[in-house]
Amino acid sequence: MLVPIQTLFEAHLHVSNLPRALAFYAELLGLPVAASFPERGVAFLWAGGPGKSMLGLWDIGTPPQRLELHLAFSVALEDLLKCVETLQQSGIQPLDFNGEPTDGPVVLAWMPAAAVYFRDPDNNLLEFITMLHDPPRPDLGVVPWKEWPHMSRPNDRVHTGTAMDSEMDLGRRKQSVNAPQIRLLGISGSLRAASTNTALLRAAALVAPPSIEVAVWEKLGSLPHFNPELEGDLPAEVREFRQHVASSSGIIFSTPEYAHGLPGVLKNALDWLVGGSEFIGKPVMLLNASARGTFAQESLIEIVKTMSGRVVHKASRIVPLLGKSANAASLASDPTFAETIRDGLTIFSNAIAAMADHEQGPDEG
Ligand SMILES: Cc1cc2nc3c(=O)[nH]c(=O)nc-3n(C[C@H](O)[C@H](O)[C@H](O)COP(=O)(O)O)c2cc1C
């Protein structure tokens, strides 16, 4: 056996209209967008969870393309680091990202993942790939493996990529590659099917970094009217809602303003949380699809504070979408949008981690 293959990691398809394909694969089939590169006419979507396996969509309308369609097999890091030599010993030329002969793996820094390319006897392009545990660095593009340790943040590295990795490190790496470390609950204050606020949250779920999962809770309208008399025997919908809040590390609200206040459905949902302990101390990020709705935002901040939630202002973002498309996939494929939201989510998750370490007081700014 040349290299022990763990699983098929990537598949790629040619598409004739990338936004339409994204609407199909991301919106309809529910695959989260891992990254999109409009200038290259390519988008990557996770399948089976961030870092687990990937689908590449290549727009045939925007040649030249840097990389042809290919298959990628995931392999253990230690095998990837050895595979250049083993490929060479078997008479197979290892290739870099540009298809040039190479003597070492490359790192696709946006993922980040280490990879070595090669060809089968029919000239099909193949790849061995290993997801890395380091923070993504989309700004770096593709870099040689030997330069990566100096470029990724040294303090955040969990493994060194050498044969000296301990079993524990490897186990930790596997666990973290396959599972997001932070789960956030997105709650939209709008029940409209074409809601810009709901689209904003869905798009946030699509562009979230692999370590962050955003689950958008879309059952606000199913909650009964709040009635304190029901606190002793909570309706099933309320129990389910409280469970979602309890199992999330933080809440992201995105709400319209109605008549200078919060929509009734959102206030109703918040009232159902007052009698429980699920929301106490909960970190909160505010998204806002309209720059106008300042009364609703201020009201929401006041309510969250009163309920002992912690608004992380520096993570909150206004993304004006009034009169714009409420299509989450097309929003997610806009690099400026994706960067704005990813930045907010990263700040939010760092703040959550800091709060967990008791390094921060409530309602930091
Ligand atoms: C009944 C109603 C009242 C509204 N009141 C306000 C308001 O006071 N201030 C404001 O900026 N927008 C107001 N709007 C506009 C909505 O906030 C705006 O259309 C929002 O983007 C809708 O969000 P959605 O797309 O997520 O449903 C109101 C809309 C409705 C339907």
Does one domain contain both 186 and 328? yes
Supply the CATH number for residue 135's domain: 3.10.180.10
Confidence of residue 107 (pLDDT cuts 50, 70, 90): very high
CA of 257 to the centre of ligand 1 (A): 5
Give the whole-angstrom CA distance, residue 176 versus residue 210.
Answer: 9
For the stretch 228-279, pLDDT in tens is 999 889 999 999 999 999 999 999 999 999 999 999 999 999 999 999 999 9
Give the whole-angstrom CA distance, residue 168 versus residue 28.
Answer: 39
Q: What is the mean pLDDT of the chain?
A: 84
The CB of 152 under 6 Å from ligand 1? The reply is: no
Choice from 191, 254, 257 to test ligand 1 binding pocket (greatest atom count within 8 A of CB)? 257
In a domain, 344, yes or no: yes
Domain count, the chain: 2
The CB of 292 under 6 Å from ligand 1? The reply is: yes
pLDDT score for 61 = 61
Structure tokens at 282: 């909960």
Confidence of residue 111 (pLDDT cuts 50, 70, 90): confident
The protein residue whose alpha carbon is closest to atom 6 in ligand 1 is 258
> Looking at 174, 208, 240, which one is the last position of a domain?
174
Does one domain contain both 149 and 196? no
CA of 214 to the centre of ligand 1 (A): 24
This prediction has a pTM of 0.58
Does one domain contain both 107 and 198? no
For the stretch 175-231, pLDDT in tens is 334 445 789 999 999 999 889 999 999 989 888 888 888 999 999 999 999 999 998
Does one domain contain both 168 and 188? no
pLDDT score for 167 = 29
Does one domain contain both 64 and 136? yes
pLDDT score for 124 = 86
> Looking at 156, 174, 192, which one is the last position of a domain?
174
Does one domain contain both 331 and 273? yes
Q: Which residues contact 10 (CB under 8 A, 6 or more apart)?
A: 53, 54, 55, 56, 70, 71, 72, 127, 129
For the stretch 39-49, pLDDT in tens is 778 888 998 88
The CB of 289 under 6 Å from ligand 1? The reply is: yes
Does one domain contain both 252 and 136? no
The protein residue whose alpha carbon is closest to atom 31 in ligand 1 is 258
In which domain, by residue range, is 251 found?
Answer: 182-358
Inter-residue contact 152 to 96 (CB < 8 Å) = no
Confidence of residue 170 (pLDDT cuts 50, 70, 90): very low
In a domain, 364, yes or no: no
pLDDT score for 159 = 28
